[in-house]
Amino acid sequence: MLAPLMRIAVLAARLGAPALALALAILAASAARAAPVSVGDDAPTTIRVTGANPAVPERINLGIGKSIIVDLPRDAKEVFVANPKVANAVVRSTRKVFLIAMSDGATSVFIMDAQGAQIANLEILVGRDMNKLRRTLKVAMPNSAITVTAVDTTVILTGEVNSALEAQQATDIAKGFIGHADVGGKDVSGDVINSLTVRAKDQVMVKVTIAEIRRDII
């Protein structure tokens, strides 16, 4: 497979300079869109915005109650949060903004300079920190293979456990973990979907006694 720069060179040779300009623009946009930043117990608490392509949104995943510091490449004048109920922004200096996750949901944060030019475009996704639940299940059932997936306020458990009792225990732990959530200022109860598979099925031993009866004796 050709490397991106080699493919661009081949394209330019075939189609000329206009194709080269278009290919370079596509490559720059792809490179500018960084991988999502996730903030949990062990995640970094600071991200640095380069400002190279502010039109491309940068995605940040935050656990409820978690925060992250955004370092800016130049002085900011205005910070706009689309939904303050999901995330709040606190400006500590002209180049440092604190983002605080408030409740489940998604919102956008735009940061502009004194001339109105956009410095950063952030997509904030707020949800529960599922890593805590994964670690708890691993400690409680070390021989099981449980996958935890969060969809809004619902937690889906998949994988394999050793018994029906472990499946029920995993469900109870997940229910205790999610409890009630604040979604857009409303108290919402989370759900748990148990799709776990039991490795060893319960077996029932039946003991049968066969008796022979002779009629002539009766």
Query: How is the chain split into domains, by residue range?
Result: 38-127, 130-198
Report whether 111 contacts 76 (CB < 8 A).
Answer: yes
The per-residue pLDDT for range 162-201, each reduced to its tens digit, is: 999 999 999 999 998 877 555 555 545 578 999 999 986 6
SS3 213: coil
At 44 the pLDDT is 54
At 31 the pLDDT is 44
At 30 the pLDDT is 45
Q: Whole-angstrom Cα distance, residue 146 to residue 142?
A: 10
Per DSSP, 104 falls in state B
At 101 the pLDDT is 93
- Please indicate, yes or no, whether the overall pTM of this predicted structure exceeds 0.85: no
CATH of domain 38-127: 2.60.40.1860
Task: Assign domain 130-198 to its CATH architecture.
Answer: 2-Layer Sandwich (3.30)
At 9 the pLDDT is 45
Mean pLDDT, residues 56-75: 90
The per-residue pLDDT for range 78-126, each reduced to its tens digit, is: 999 999 999 999 998 999 999 999 988 899 999 999 999 999 999 998 8
Pick the most confident of 36-40, 92-96, 130-134, 209-213: 92-96
At 149 the pLDDT is 86
| Residue 47 reports pLDDT greater than 70 | yes
Q: Whole-angstrom Cα distance, residue 191 to residue 107?
A: 23
Q: Quick one: tokens of 171?
A: 């469900």
